[in-house]
């Protein structure tokens, strides 16, 4: 994804303040960039482009360097995640055992594609390639809780029952 394709997000005043505090805390320390990005993601929920620009400016490094690090590590997200993060497995074992039907049910119910977040920011959907627990296929993970041998008929009930 190019930086120009990322959604625009206007930082709220309290978020600007928080980002400033985070950068000031790490500025001047060796290898400050990754801890700064981690903390922004933890506190704001994702790393908006506007926040990346601020980090680059305050650290005195090129924006492309911040963007490069943000896109290199999969644990960084540049689009807003929902309060509830659904990760469905489409690795071979899960796919064969009906993982695709599960993903299709979720897409239909929430009206979002993998990689997207619902407009109310309640749910995000991601698709993974194997959680390393293939014997329990098909698998979905919601907010770090793993659900095994999921049936497409029950997946929507699971999603709503674990809503934060
Ligand atoms: S394929 Fe889904 S856990 Fe391995």
Whether residue 68 is found in the same domain as residue 100: no
pLDDT > 90: percent of the chain: 64
Tokens of 158: 């699971």
For residue 131, give the ligand 1 atom closest to its CA: 3
Whether residue 125 is found in the same domain as residue 150: yes
Residue 78 lies in a domain: no
Strand extents, DSSP E, 12-158: 84-89, 123-128, 140-142, 145-147
- Confidence (pLDDT) at 81: 80
The last residue of a domain, from among 72, 100, 130: 72
- At 120, which CATH number? 3.40.30.10
Residue 79 lies in a domain: no
CA of residue 38 to ligand 1 center, whole Å: 27
Residue 24 lies in a domain: yes
Whether residue 102 is found in the same domain as residue 131: yes
CA of residue 155 to ligand 1 center, whole Å: 17
Mean pLDDT over 86-101 rounds to 96
Q: Report the predicted TM-score, pTM, of the whole model to 2 decimal places.
A: 0.68
Give the number of domains in the chain.
2
pLDDT in tens, 133-144: 999 999 999 988
Whether residue 42 is found in the same domain as residue 94: no
Map tokens 């001047």 to a residue: 28
Mean pLDDT over 119-138 rounds to 91
Tokens of 61: 């490094």
The last residue of a domain, from among 72, 98, 123: 72
How far is C-alpha 134 from the geometric centre of its chain's CA atoms?
23
The count of C-alpha atoms lying within 13 angstroms of the C-alpha of 57, restricted to the half-sphere facing its C-beta, is 8
The last residue of a domain, from among 38, 72, 106: 72
Contact predicate 86/124, CB 8 Å: yes
Residue 1 has pLDDT above 90, yes or no: no
Which domain covers residue 38, as residue numbers? 3-72
Tokens of 63: 């924006």
Whether residue 92 is found in the same domain as residue 143: yes
Tokens of 32: 């400050």
**Distant-in-sequence, close-in-space partners of 113: CB < 8 Å, separation ≥ 6:** 107, 125
- Confidence (pLDDT) at 121: 84
What residues line ligand 1, using a CB cutoff of 6 Å? 89, 91-94, 130-131, 133-134, 137, 139
Find the range with the poorest average confidence among 61-65, 102-106, 117-121.
117-121
Burial of residue 40 (number of CB atoms within 10 Å: 0-12, 13-18, 19+): buried
pLDDT in tens, 60-89: 999 999 999 988 887 788 877 888 989 999
């Amino acid at each position: 994804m190019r930086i120009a394709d990322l959604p625009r997000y206007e930082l709220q005043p309290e978020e600007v303040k928080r980002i400033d505090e985070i950068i000031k805390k790490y500025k001047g320390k060796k290898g400050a960039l990754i801890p700064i990005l981690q903390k922004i993601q933890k506190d704001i929920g994702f790393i908006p482009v506007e926040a990346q620009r601020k980090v680059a400016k305050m650290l005195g490094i090129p924006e492309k360097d911040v963007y490069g690090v943000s896109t290199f590590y999969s644990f960084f997200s540049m689009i807003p995640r929902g309060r509830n993060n659904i990760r469905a497995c489409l690795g071979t074992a899960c796919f064969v055992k009906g993982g695709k039907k599960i993903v299709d049910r979720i897409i239909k119910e929430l009206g979002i594609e993998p990689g997207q977040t619902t407009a109310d920011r309640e749910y995000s959907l991601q698709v993974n390639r194997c959680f390393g627990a293939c014997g329990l296929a098909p698998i979905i993970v919601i907010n770090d809780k793993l659900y095994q041998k999921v049936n497409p008929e029950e997946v929507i009930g699971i999603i709503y029952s674990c809503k934060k």
